[in-house]
Amino acid sequence: GSEETQAGWEHHDPEVVDQRINKMDTLPFLRRALWDAELEDTVIAVVGASPRVATVWSTEIAMLFIDGGHGAEHAAADYRSWAHHVTQGGVLAIHDVFTDPADGGQAPHDEIYRPALDSGAFVEIGATGSLRLLRRQ
C-alpha cells in the first residue's frame, strides 16, 4: 500500500494487514467490491509492481486511474510506465493532485499531472477535489 496507509501513518487500517506475511493486502476488499457492484466480468484486477506490470502490458487503455504512491519516485514511475498506454481520446485520472503544498503531498502534481500537461499529449477536462481528469489528444 501507499506510504500513508502504513503502520504509524494517519490512514493506517490494521484490518487490511495480512497477518501471515505482515504486509498490507487490499486485494480481498477489491474483490468483494467488484462482486458487490457486479463488475467481475468488466474489471480485471492485475496484481504486481506497477512498473513491472507495465513492461508486459500490450493493450491501449481507455481510462487509467492513478492512485499510487505519494513519493516522487513512485509517482514518476507510474507516469513513465503507464501514460503512453492511454489511447487517443482516453482519460488519465490522477488522484491526490494538490497545487498548494499546504493541502497535501506534491508528487502526484509534480511527477504526473504537470508532466502530462507539459507533454502536450493531455489536456485537463475536469477536476473535483484532488482528482484531476486529463484527456489524451
In this structure, which amino acid lies at residue 63? M
The C-alpha atoms of residue 33 and residue 36 are separated, in whole angstroms, by 5
**pLDDT score of 108:** 95
**pLDDT score of 41:** 94
From the candidates 12, 70, 85, 95, which is the catalytic residue?
A: 70
CA 93 to chain centre: 8
CA distance to 49, 95, 98, per residue, from 81 (Å): 11, 17, 22
The C-alpha atoms of residue 41 and residue 39 are separated, in whole angstroms, by 5
Which residue numbers in the chain have pLDDT < 70? 1-12
**pLDDT score of 13:** 74
85 assigned to active site: no
Is the full-model pTM beyond 0.85?
no
**pLDDT score of 1:** 54
CA 44 to chain centre: 15
**pLDDT score of 119:** 98
Query: What is the gyration radius of the CA atoms in the chain, in angstroms?
Result: 16
**pLDDT score of 26:** 82
* Domain ranges, ordered by start, for the chain: 1-45, 48-137
**pLDDT score of 14:** 74
User: In CATH, what number does 48-137 get?
Assistant: 3.40.50.150
**pLDDT score of 63:** 95
**pLDDT score of 25:** 81
